[in-house]
Chains A and B, each alone.
Chain A
Amino acid sequence: MATTGTPTNITQGSKTKGGIGESTLRPDGTLKVTGEFAYSSDMWHEDMLWGQTLRSTVAHAEIRSIDISEAVAMPGVYAVLTYDDLPTEVKNYGLEIQDTPVLAHGKVRHHGEPVALVAADHPETARRAAAKIKIEYVELPVITDEASATAPDAILVHEGRDDHHIGHVPHPNIVHRQPIVRGNADEAAKRADVIVKGEYTFGMQDQAFLGPESGLAVPSEDGGVELYVATQWLHSDLKQIAPVLGLPEEKVRMTLSGVGGAFGGREDISMQIHACLLALRTGKPVKIVYNRFESFFGHVHRHPAKLYYEHGATKDGKLTHMKCKIVLDGGAYASASPAVVGNASSLSVGPYVIDDVDIEAIALYTNNPPCGAMRGFGAVQACFAYEAQMDKLAAKLGIDPVEFRQLNAMEQGTIMPTGQPVDSPAPVAELLRRIKARPLPPEQQWATAGEQADVRALPGGLSNTTHGEGVVRGVGYAVGIKNVGFSEGFDDYSTAKVRMEVVGGEPVATVHTAMAEVGQGGVTVHAQIARTELGVTQVTIHPADTQVGSAGSTSASRQTYVTGGAVKNTCEHVREAVLEIGRRKFGSYHPAWATAELLLEGGKVVTDGGEVLADLVDVLEDEAVELELEWRHRPTEAFDLRTGQGNGHVQYSFAAHRAVVEVDTELGLVKVVELAVAQDVGKALNPLSVVGQIQGGTTQGLGVAVMEEIIVDPKTAKVRNPSFTDYLIPTILDTPTIPVDVLELADEHAPYGLRGIGEAPTLSSTPAVLAAIRNATGLELNRTPVRPEHLTGTESS
């Protein structure tokens, strides 16, 4: 396999400090460690009111009446709003389908749906006033799964659908359906020596970002509103907010506040419209901050899924065919469900070569909590299932599971089930080789360490439940494929404004984009790109707002690629303009201005031979060069609605994991000892941040393997565990050491050859941990997360 491919030849900027490829430190780091960084929940304004949302206590019901009289009468209460107070005819919003009511109208479709709003002078007053609002519900039967959603007499979650998917779905309670058919799976199955069928269940995961949904809306003198908020895409919010308020977009001025993590959970609107409505109604600034309980209702979750897979293979270990059906529970509102369906179906085969496939993915409308974007976006659920299948096939064939994967691994040139060729490096076999080659962590430390044995390293940890008795070890492998960027023909562009001028006797570049920095380090990378492209060391990152064009979403592993690409592109044009000024001023003094390739390095114009022609300070003097440009990656196509064929994706990203676990089989407690990962990143623009993303993504995958699940009561569709007491995310004690092996095989189509990296490590982490637990226990374990009762056989029901 070709592992050559040095990243795009970088000449410009290679002599300027702090450029791409260096682990420069975060520009917001100091503010974040001193407590000065202003997160959206930290915003404060004189005379500010607090907003509170009243949410439904039932999942599916008609609203007979709402009585706000007691709430309105409370001292300190400034406004109480319900559906009837919405100012325009636009009363719904949504990412793709505008099916989500700003406030419930006559009906609620899920537990925790917003019904009324209160603004008061103290948050406790607002909470108490909201509690005094009386709502009369008449409960309806709940739709909770595929059977109840598609039953002939099923209640429709949404009556009178007129969205663009309704024409091709088999039932109005199905949001979207995407089949993919390639080759002939039935024919190919006849060549199979072994066939493996499996049914898998993926639990509902929460993004559990630490900074709760929050923001501050300030009414402005021109009748508009300023909104300071934590989001993943300012311009997408703006498009949904302005029509509900009845304001032109330019009168809704949005500024990104500090974002305490996102992971997909801030793609949808939460408190944005509510805060603006209250601010415009009261004429006062209004702050809304969800607490953790409300946060669990305030954003969509990862789709829980049922996955039905069939694979065949010949006895020499070659996959013959794959059939699958993936059923995603989209909950009560569409959110990103259609795109999640597209991802789940188009990536359902995994990073393997299978020519004959028969694939179907659907998302349901139910009365469960709405589900949408979360890191990995449809590819996560599929990876859990197909990797379990790979292990079962390997076991049946008596082939080593890594070797079996390598035998079938895709590579550059492989045709995806969608007919799209993989046209950049796909080092699947190499990633697997690397993680397998790592030495394993020492076994049975409790036995060798004797008295010194540290219970904190054992299953159960400080609970001191075992000193090694009943503990068995297992090792498991998994690999995955994720698309990068928005797919299926979406116009996925970004905008960057770059200004170059002399400030205080030094050339300074200012980069202004609307990119949401949610922690990923985009601001670090933008400064690095500007240094590399403009040869300056001083770079200012302007706050993200809607005064500049859209940067698209901080999702889909796309921001370094797309907004990074936009910054690079604008910088290149600024560089050309600066050189043009130089030619005009100094061209006659030196022939190289006309003949040589000119670079900007260390604040100077130099020839590619290294000769200094001019100082940027002298070229620019008091002139400033400023450009705002849009940039696009190469276009994609929609998938055919019947066959699923189409060049739908921009780029793919690959990671592989090896998990080592120790399981206390008596108590069903799992200790993940090590979770090693290898990932191809194309080009690491900031190696420190790259490793941080990979470790963070890996840990979220670990969480959904062994602890994270929103439990929804199947009888009432109510959420049972909306708190960090009952919804567990990994602590530092649950998280093992995560060695990271980074490959850099350039994708010639991408800026600097880079690959979007944020999501791939979340995919294979989960199935690797599951494989290790299966290896340790011999259990089949077809659902995730695994709970103790699944390991001890003491599960009730």
Chain B
Amino acid sequence: MRVNFTVNGRKQEADDVWEGESLLYVLRERMGLPGSKNACEQGECGSCTVRLDGVPVCSCLVAAGQVEGREVVTVEGLADYAKHREDAHPGGGCASGACGTSIDAAQRWQAKPVDGQTGEAGALSPIQQAFIDAGAVQCGFCTPGLLVAADELLERNASPSDQDIREALSGNLCRCTGYEKILDAVRLAAARQEEAV
């Protein structure tokens, strides 16, 4: 089958998709977007977390056919997604829930290409930078999913308590860090966001 959907702001078309393929498989193997990770492929570990029409989902549990006509944001598009949000709603997230990114708005931005040669990406989103600065990345396999989940948390709750962070990230397994530096990273991103207001 053919599936049309938007990934990181760009219209995409996938051909010859077998009905059993997941969104994760299509992203990784057909779209050249391997950032979303395949650690358990049964929705337990969160490594494949993406935004589907703004909602964080395990892309391994979404059949590719279900995303027809919908919006997907992956870790590869996170920096631009965050930049767009900042442009549209200066000051970052809000607890009221009234300042998430509308699908309409999401359609107007595009992810910038990453230079595969040097590995130098465009500017990082605040949560990406905070993960690096806080030492929240070791092997990094859980990182893409955690970033998408943490970014979504900060979008709806600008100053989460530790328990809020733990609850929001409880669907994302990490085997390297013991989570302490991940908590640090989310706290750091929240603090920087607050400072910037």
Measuring CB to CB, which residues of chain A are less than 8 angstroms from any residue of chain B?
Answer: 23, 25-26, 28-39, 41-42, 44, 122, 124, 207-212, 258-263, 289, 291-292, 454, 456-457, 462, 518-521, 688-689, 691-692, 695-700, 723-725, 729, 731-733, 735, 737-738
> What are the 7 closest A-B residue pairs judged by CB atoms, nearest first?
A35-B35, A519-B139, A260-B141, A32-B140, A695-B178, A699-B178, A724-B44
- B1-21 residues with Cβ-Cβ distance < 8 A to A are 18, 20
Verify A32–B179 contact, CB threshold 8 A.
Answer: no
Partner of A42, one of B34, B116, B169: B34
Partner of B135, one of A23, A28, A41, A261: A23
Q: How far is the CA of A30 from the CA of B20 in the complex (A)?
A: 33
Verify A695–B177 contact, CB threshold 8 A.
Answer: yes
B37 within 8 A of A: yes
A36 in contact with B119 given A292-B40, A724-B173 (CB within 8 Å): yes
Give the residues in chain A near B75, CB-CB below 8 Å.
Answer: 33-35
Give the residues in chain A near B39, CB-CB below 8 Å.
Answer: 210-212, 260, 292
Q: How far does the Cβ of A681 sit from chain B's closest Cβ, in whole Å?
A: 15
Give the residues in chain B near A735, CB-CB below 8 Å.
Answer: 178-180
Verify A209–B166 contact, CB threshold 8 A.
Answer: no
B142 within 8 A of A: yes
Verify A733–B173 contact, CB threshold 8 A.
Answer: no
B84 within 8 A of A: no
Q: How far is the CA of A700 from the CA of B133 in the complex (A)?
A: 24
Verify A725–B44 contact, CB threshold 8 A.
Answer: yes
**Majority secondary structure, A binding face:** loop
Question: Chain B, 112-153, contact with A by CB distance < 8 Å: what is the 0/1 string?
Answer: 001010011100100011011101011111111001000000
Chain B count of residues within 8 A CB distance of the other chain: 63
Verify B177–A210 contact, CB threshold 8 A.
Answer: no
Q: How far does the Cβ of A483 sit from chain B's closest Cβ, in whole Å?
A: 22
B79 within 8 A of A: yes
Verify B167–A456 contact, CB threshold 8 A.
Answer: yes
Q: How far is the CA of A209 from the CA of B37 in the complex (A)?
A: 13
Partner of B79, one of A34, A519, A700: A34
Verify A732–B182 contact, CB threshold 8 A.
Answer: yes
Give the residues in chain B near A700, CB-CB below 8 Å.
Answer: 175
Verify B40–A723 contact, CB threshold 8 A.
Answer: yes
Verify A33–B124 contact, CB threshold 8 A.
Answer: yes
Q: How far does the Cβ of A126 sit from chain B's closest Cβ, in whole Å?
A: 13
Verify A26–B166 contact, CB threshold 8 A.
Answer: no
Verify A732–B141 contact, CB threshold 8 A.
Answer: no
CB-nearest residue of chain B relative to A209?
B175
Verify A28–B140 contact, CB threshold 8 A.
Answer: yes
Q: How far does the Cβ of B138 sit from chain A's closest Cβ, in whole Å?
A: 4
Give the residues in chain A near B120, CB-CB below 8 Å.
Answer: 30
Q: How far is the CA of A731 from the CA of B44 in the complex (A)?
A: 10
Verify B141–A25 contact, CB threshold 8 A.
Answer: no
Q: How far does the Cβ of B63 sit from chain A's closest Cβ, in whole Å?
A: 13
Q: How far does the Cβ of A206 sit from chain B's closest Cβ, in whole Å?
A: 10
Give the residues in chain B near A291, CB-CB below 8 Å.
Answer: 38, 40-41
Beyond A33-B129, A34-B76, A699-B177, 20 additional contacts (C-beta under 8 Å) are: A25-B133, A30-B120, A32-B143, A33-B75, A34-B128, A35-B33, A122-B18, A209-B141, A209-B175, A210-B139, A211-B141, A212-B38, A261-B175, A457-B163, A689-B135, A696-B177, A723-B40, A732-B165, A733-B170, A735-B179
Q: How far is the CA of A729 from the CA of B178 in the complex (A)?
A: 11
Give the residues in chain B near A25, CB-CB below 8 Å.
Answer: 132-133, 135
Verify B172–A519 contact, CB threshold 8 A.
Answer: no
Verify B45–A692 contact, CB threshold 8 A.
Answer: no
Verify A30–B124 contact, CB threshold 8 A.
Answer: yes
Q: How far is the CA of A292 from the CA of B20 in the complex (A)?
A: 18
Verify A34–B173 contact, CB threshold 8 A.
Answer: no
Verify A698–B167 contact, CB threshold 8 A.
Answer: no
CB-nearest residue of chain B relative to A520?
B138
Q: How far is the CA of A519 from the CA of B142 in the complex (A)?
A: 11
Give the residues in chain A near B183, CB-CB below 8 Å.
Answer: 732
B174 within 8 A of A: yes
Interface centre among B32, B173, B182, by most chain A C-beta atoms within 10 angstroms, is B173
Q: How far is the CA of A41 from the CA of B41 in the complex (A)?
A: 13
A462 in contact with B167 given A35-B33, A518-B139, A732-B183 (CB within 8 Å): yes
Verify B128–A33 contact, CB threshold 8 A.
Answer: yes
Q: How far is the CA of A456 from the CA of B179 in the complex (A)?
A: 16
Verify B176–A692 contact, CB threshold 8 A.
Answer: yes
Interface centre among B34, B131, B140, by most chain A C-beta atoms within 10 angstroms, is B140
Q: How far does the Cβ of B113 sit from chain A's closest Cβ, in whole Å?
A: 11
CB-nearest residue of chain A relative to B29?
A44
Q: How far does the Cβ of B159 sit from chain A's closest Cβ, in whole Å?
A: 16
Interface centre among B116, B141, B166, B171, by most chain A C-beta atoms within 10 angstroms, is B141
Q: How far is the CA of A700 from the CA of B179 in the complex (A)?
A: 11
Q: How far does the Cβ of B12 sit from chain A's closest Cβ, in whole Å?
A: 16
A692 in contact with B174 given A41-B38, A42-B28 (CB within 8 Å): no
Q: How far is the CA of A194 from the CA of B138 in the complex (A)?
A: 47
B36 within 8 A of A: yes
B59 within 8 A of A: no
A33 in contact with B135 given A41-B38, A695-B181 (CB within 8 Å): no
Q: How far is the CA of A41 from the CA of B139 in the complex (A)?
A: 14
Q: How far is the CA of A261 from the CA of B137 in the complex (A)?
A: 11
Q: How far does the Cβ of B122 sit from chain A's closest Cβ, in whole Å?
A: 9
CB-nearest residue of chain B relative to A289?
B38
Partner of A29, one of B33, B38, B137, B175: B137
Q: How far is the CA of A16 from the CA of B171 in the complex (A)?
A: 42
